[in-house]
Structure 1
Amino acid sequence: MMKFKIHYPFVIAAGISLFLPLKLRAQLLNGKDLTMGSSINTSGKTLQDASRIGRTSGAKAPEFQELYDYEVSAKNLVSATFPYQMLLHKAYVIMLAEQKIINHKEAKDILNGLLKVDKLAIANPSLQVYLPYEAQLIKEIGNVGGKMHIGRSRNDLDNTTNRLFLRDQLLEVIESVINLRKAIQAKALDHLQTVMVIYTHRKEAQPGTLAHYLTAIDESLAKNLERYLQLYERIDQCPLGSGASGGTSWALNRYRVADLLGFNQLVVNTIEGVAGWDHIAEFASDNAIFMSDLSRLASEIQLWSTDEYNSVELNNSYAGISSMMPQKKNPDALERTRKAASITIGQLMSVLTSLNSIEYQHSGVRVMLEPKALDALLAATHTMTGVVSTLQVNKETMLRYARENFSTMTDLADLLVRNTNLDFRDAHEVIASVVGQAITEKKTADQITLKMIQTAAKKRLGHELTISEKQLQAALDPVQSVAHKTGPGMPAISPVMEMISTGQKDVVTKALWLEKQKVHLNRKNIELMELVKEYCQ
């Protein structure tokens, strides 16, 4: 995937502040926090080094460290969106000049003044709020600085800035989900024949494979990804020019400023431009749905990793220790992922509660998507990608459980129906009786005998059933059970391979879409940079 990197001081000098897609966040200068001016990871690295003792003495995975860093970051919505505000001002001033609302010299003076104030605001975060920022601009270049705000309000300014921020954040989320799906698909290909128990109600249900389970997760993630792509169309709309809500008599070119900022279309209605926040609720909702799915995966892996299941082993780089108990290897990455899901769901509740209490007009009551919730999601997604990629699977243990714990009993009931013309309900009751006897006698499923079945059949039906020992053993074998389930979406190798192939094609399509958006935004930002340089000469 293409990576775009521009040194920050050069960007400021050109009048464009760290505009690059997927990188335009609060961390502006080589991982520096905008509000603190110090490396976010400095304290995290110290904590990491101190905690890597005991059974997890190896290095912590960088993406796992993200799950710690976001909690202590000083980043807030103002600092996270300020780079976009800097970008917006420059595009708006150029549009005003092109529309002859201000002259070329005024535009030049304002743009040069913006470059100065940008640097001051990075050093002094109190200037990142608009009115202090504008006051500083007027202080630097005189009253001409006040012309920058012709025809606009903080209402449409803030909503546009927020959309720019959310647009880049959404692209980061989409990229992270694509990478997670790639990891899941790769792991599935490695485990097409890894037979395991499929559970319902946390009780053994039927035999399946790990690949079959992982393709279920991938199918769920595909729906999440589709929702995010649809959301992008609704976020990629420019409300600038809406004014306070009723527009303006100034001859603004809303389409031009939208194009300069890389937007694909307008939020047409000016009231909707400042009062419409459904895209925020939709983003929060999509995040909550996605993180709920991710949390369920983390929860399942955590369950499988217990000593009682012993079906998977978490890589040490995603685990933690106990400060007291030497034997402990805690599934910290999984638990922190589930915690991140709770934060994301809580953010949705905050957004919906605030929107529910506002009339259809601009209001400060609204709750925006906070950087911390978005960073939690990204950290969790990056972490789970690493967890899945490095997960050690105990195939023999999984197969043993499938042989021993009655997951093949439906196959056994089906055998009775096929071979003896028995109705399924009677077959179900006969096998249920056999299971009850086996449990009482402390036998595992693979120890069920023909005699046990005939005894149960005679008691239920009044006669024995005609089945052979070979047929019984075939029905009890989870490997054969899986191999016989060849219908669409079932666990045999052929349908699972088809699902993996479908998922891989979808990921390629989505990755191409993502690259197209990144290239488009990068190109628009470069074009804007060149315009600013021309005006500033």
Structure 2
Amino acid sequence: MTEKKTWSQRFESALNPAIARFNASIAFDIELIDHDLTGSIAHAQMLGHTGIIPHTEVEQLVAGLEKIRQEYHQGEFNPGIEAEDIHFAVEHRLVEIVGDVGKKLHTARSRNDQVGTDTRLYLREQIQQIRQQLKDLQTVLLDIAENNLETLIPGYTHLQRAQPLSLAHHLLAYFHMSQRDWERLGDVSRRVNISPLGSGALAGTTFPIDRHYTAKLLEFDDVYANSLDGVSDRDFAIEFLCAASLIMVHLSRLSEEIILWASEEFGFVTLKDSCATGSSIMPQKKNPDVPELVRGKTGRVFGHLQAMLVIMKGLPLAYNKDLQEDKEGLFDGVNTVKSCLQAMTILLQEGLEFRPQRLAAAVAADFSNATDVADYLAARGVPFREAYNLVGKVVKTSIAAGKLLKDLTLSEWQQLHPAFAEDIYEAISPHQVVSARNSYGGTGFTQVRQAIIDARKQVST
């Protein structure tokens, strides 16, 4: 027979054991225990501050809650499914420690505003940690960029060779994606950091509580102005999963490029043993497991976002048990993003080695300098569209002849147009092609050098 719960005076019998298991959340919401204890301590202190309970009882409650924290971290407090959730587990243990005074902790509070407070405290902490991880990733990207300012890499559109780039410029694109992620999480954090504590079950409370006092103790920026909204709002969790999904998009895009770069067909990077695995039957292989796993785990976070949206889309006000389903996806989304950021940072820092000679050979063996031929003519008064069409013909005939543009003689160039001179060879060399793109935000070395300096300042703030 399952033990009767707090509400059992309304009921004549206990829950069916299978329903008790189905109803319980202790298996995953124990993640919130530290935050539940912190929130409960603040609530107890507020009850004393407002005179709802005596200060001597507040001291007993706080001491008991801190003892539970100590017991948990020492492995002595391990509530099972009979506790249903972490909130009841803590309250039950508190009564065991301090006696009937422990039953006063829930005065002027519902599990609805309690769990909402715990979840926000948890997510606020996790966002801070993820933002730091983003800074760590950015620092590694900048370190690699700084060492590869004049290393060239083919740039692609439609996965076709387009124009050569500074490798540093390519990596800085991911820096800026990560910067937006960092800023976006800061925006989300502001809406996470609003206290629902004191909203009660849905309508507030008859006790003379001070919600702003608990908000100050818990370092919330504000309190919910509407009790219904306070206990039923999960916008903050959806916003976080949106931001988390974009982090995963960016990590997955970088992963895809690394996977391509590590292939024999590209050969732009070598995978180091510390971040690669082998094949069970093909001894020659070295597999890019880290970026493949990051790419695969991305859909997992997307799924949690979709699930949260579906949970919320039809819920009437205020609290509904459906909201118990917000936690597993949120917790897993947090853990997935953190593990992927850590793995990608390690991979970039110690698991990859770029192959400058292979990269240099790649940018020297294609027609990605064709636009620069057109620009060369346009700078000498030839209308760009006319120059564009002329170069298109040159590329076509060169391919047919098995030549690259650099292989054409000066006489052949001048037969195409008299504006060509000896300096055409310098103009279409890969290094010059990259260097010449000196517009703000471009891949020119001067621009990229300044971009690295600016990025370093952003990371340090």
Aligned twin of 1:315? 272
Counterpart selection for 1:426 from 365, 382, 386: 386
Aligned: 1:97 with 2:48: yes
Which amino acid in the other structure matches residue 84 of structure 1? Answer: H
SS in 1 for 2:321: coil
Q: Counterpart of 1:159?
A: 116
2:401 corresponds to 1:441: yes
How many angstroms does 1:425 deviate by? Answer: 1.8
Give, in whole Å, the separation in 1 of the partners of 2:192 and 2:278. 42
Written as runs of structure 1 = structure 2, the 5 A alignment for 1:109-188 is: 109-115=60-66, 117-118=68-69, 119=71, 122-126=77-81, 127=83, 128-188=85-145
Residue 428 of structure 2: aligned partner: 476
Stretch of structure 1 that moved more, 204-213 or 436-445: 436-445
Residue deviations 1:330-367 (CA, integer Å, cap 9, x gap): 00111111122222222111112222222342222232
> Would the aligned equivalents of 1:76 and 1:370 in 2 still touch at CA under 8 Å?
no
Specify every segment of 5 or more residues in structure 2 that has no aligned partner in the other structure, as ranges.
1-25
Q: Residues of 1 paired with 2:116 and 2:238: CA distance?
A: 14
Return the alpha-carbon distance in structure 2 between the equivalents of residues 81 and 188 of structure 1. Answer: 40
Q: Deviation digits for residues 47-88 of structure 1, max 9, x if unmatched? A: xxxxxxxxxxxxxxxxxxxxxxxxxxxx96412112211221
State the Cα RMSD in Å: 2.1
Q: Distance in 1 between matches of 2:156 and 2:172?
A: 15
Cα distance in 2 for partners of 1:115, 1:423 equals: 78
Structure 1 vs Structure 2: percent identity of aligned residues? 29
SS at match of 1:313: strand
Q: Does the CA contact (< 8 Å) of 1:170 and 1:228 recur in 2?
A: yes
Give the TM-score of the pair, scaled to structure 1: 0.75
Task: Rate the CA distance shift 1:291–1:448 in 2: closer, same or farther, 3 A.
Answer: farther
Note if contact 1:79-1:125 (Cα within 8 Å) is conserved in structure 2: no
- What residue identity is the alignment partner of 1:437? T
Matching residue of 2:419: 466
1:376 match: 336
Q: Does 1:205 align with 2:162?
A: yes
The count of aligned residue pairs is 426
Deviation at 1:136, TM superposition (A): 4.0
Alignment of 1:335-374 (within 5 A): 335-366=292-323, 367-368=326-327, 369-374=329-334
For each residue in 1:254-286, what CA deviation from the matched residue of structure 2 results, as whole angstroms up to 9, or x when unmatched? 122122222232223222211221111110001
| d(CA) in 2 for partners of 1:132, 1:227 | 36
The match for 2:437 among 468, 472, 485 is: 485
Structure 1 pair 140–324 and aligned structure 2 pair: CA distance change class (3 A): same
Tell me whether 1:496 sits opposite 2:448 in the alignment.
Answer: yes
- Summarize the alignment of residues 15-414 of structure 1 with structure 2, pairs less than 5 Å apart: 77-115=28-66, 117-118=68-69, 119=71, 122-126=77-81, 127=83, 128-366=85-323, 367-368=326-327, 369-390=329-350, 391-414=352-375
| C-alpha spacing 1:452/1:171, structure 2 compared with 1 (3 Å) | same
Contact 1:404–1:446 (CA under 8 A) maintained in structure 2 = no
287 and 76 in structure 1: CA distance in 2 versus 1, 3 angstrom threshold: farther
Pairwise CA distance, 1:310: 0.9
Distance 1:79 1:445 in 2: 66
Q: 1:508 matched to which residue of 2?
A: 460
SS in 2 for 1:149: coil
- Using the alignment, how far apart are the partners of 1:209 and 1:115 within structure 2? 56
Distance in 1 separating the partners of 2:138 and 2:191: 24
Q: Partner letter of residue 42 of structure 2?
A: A
Kindly indicate whether structure 1 or structure 2 has the higher relative contact order, using CA contacts under 8 Å at least 6 residues apart. Answer: 1
